[in-house]
Structure 1
Amino acid sequence: MTPFGARLRTLREARGVTLTELARALHVSAAYLSALEHGHRGRPSPGLIHQVNEYFGLIWDDAEEMARLARISHPRVVVDTSGLSAEATALANRLARDIRRLPPETIAALHAVLEAVPPKG
């Protein structure tokens, strides 16, 4: 599941909207929305994000959050470690190999470590 897909499902279920109803309103297939929710499709288009925001009446911060979630929701990520250390490349490969086995608390801890890194710039 992707962050965008999880949020879409939460919104849809909280409002009692079925996949078929939402698909009809957005002029897409229910299969496509299901694939988005389950992380089997890549990032949605900006147009679809806008449609989702309008359908659910999301404005300001909530609409921007949906756009942010879409940006970080590509289920097949490529990490370019060219020019980085051997350790960085090994870490990227290890994460790619083992991410499916990591428990939620480990993933949360890794997020916390990365959040503590000062922004580039």
Structure 2
Amino acid sequence: MTPFGEAVRKLRLRKGVSQKQMAAALNVTPAYLSALEHGKRGTPTFDLLQRIAGYFNIIWDEAEELFLLARFSDPRVVVDTSGLAPEYTAFVNRLAGKIRNLDAATIRELDRVLENAGKTG
């Protein structure tokens, strides 16, 4: 499951609707909505994101957060290291090969390192 899929599922459960009901209201198939929730589909279109926000009648800040989650939820990531030093390409490939074996604490630590990258002081 992706962060976006988890957020949509929570919104759907909070509203008390099934995937089938939500899919019908959004004019998508239940199979597509299920795949989206389970992280088996890429980032939804902006149009669909707007329909989801409207369906849940969420305020602008919450909608913006949902849109941001969608941007960071594509399960098939491509990292372009062209023009970078060889160690960048090697690192990304090692990460891709090991990502499934990393525990949650390690992921949080890597996320903290990335969040602080480039910050001064």
* TM norm structure 1: 0.93
Map of 1:32 onto structure 2:
32
Q: Please list the CA deviations of residues 30-71 of structure 1 after superposition, one character each: whole Å capped at 9, or x if unmatched.
A: 100000011110000111100110111112110111111111
Letter in 2 for 1:61: D
1:108 lines up with 2:108 in the alignment: yes
Ranges in structure 2 where 5+ consecutive residues have no aligned partner: none
After TM superposition, where is structure 1 displaced by more than 3 Å over at least 4 residues in a row?
none
For residues 87 and 10 of structure 1, what CA distance do their matches in structure 2 show? 40
Q: 1:118: Cα distance to partner?
A: 2.6
Ranges in structure 1 where 5+ consecutive residues have no aligned partner: none
Q: Please list the CA deviations of residues 66-115 of structure 1 after superposition, one character each: whole Å capped at 9, or x if unmatched.
A: 11111112111111111212221111001110101111111111100000
Letter in 1 for 2:25: A
For residues 53 and 65 of structure 1, what CA distance do their matches in structure 2 show? 10
Letter in 1 for 2:105: E
Please identify, of 39-48 and 67-76, the stretch whose mean Cα deviation from structure 2 is larger.
Answer: 67-76
For residues 86 and 28 of structure 1, what CA distance do their matches in structure 2 show? 43
For residues 2 and 94 of structure 2, what CA distance do their matches in structure 1 show? 21
Corresponding residue SS for 1:48: helix
- Give the number of aligned pairs: 119
Identity %: 55
Map of 1:91 onto structure 2:
91
1:68 lines up with 2:68 in the alignment: yes
For residues 102 and 82 of structure 1, what CA distance do their matches in structure 2 show? 26
- Root mean square deviation, CA, Å: 1.1
Letter in 2 for 1:20: K
Map of 2:5 onto structure 1:
5
1:56 lines up with 2:56 in the alignment: yes
For residues 28 and 53 of structure 1, what CA distance do their matches in structure 2 show? 15
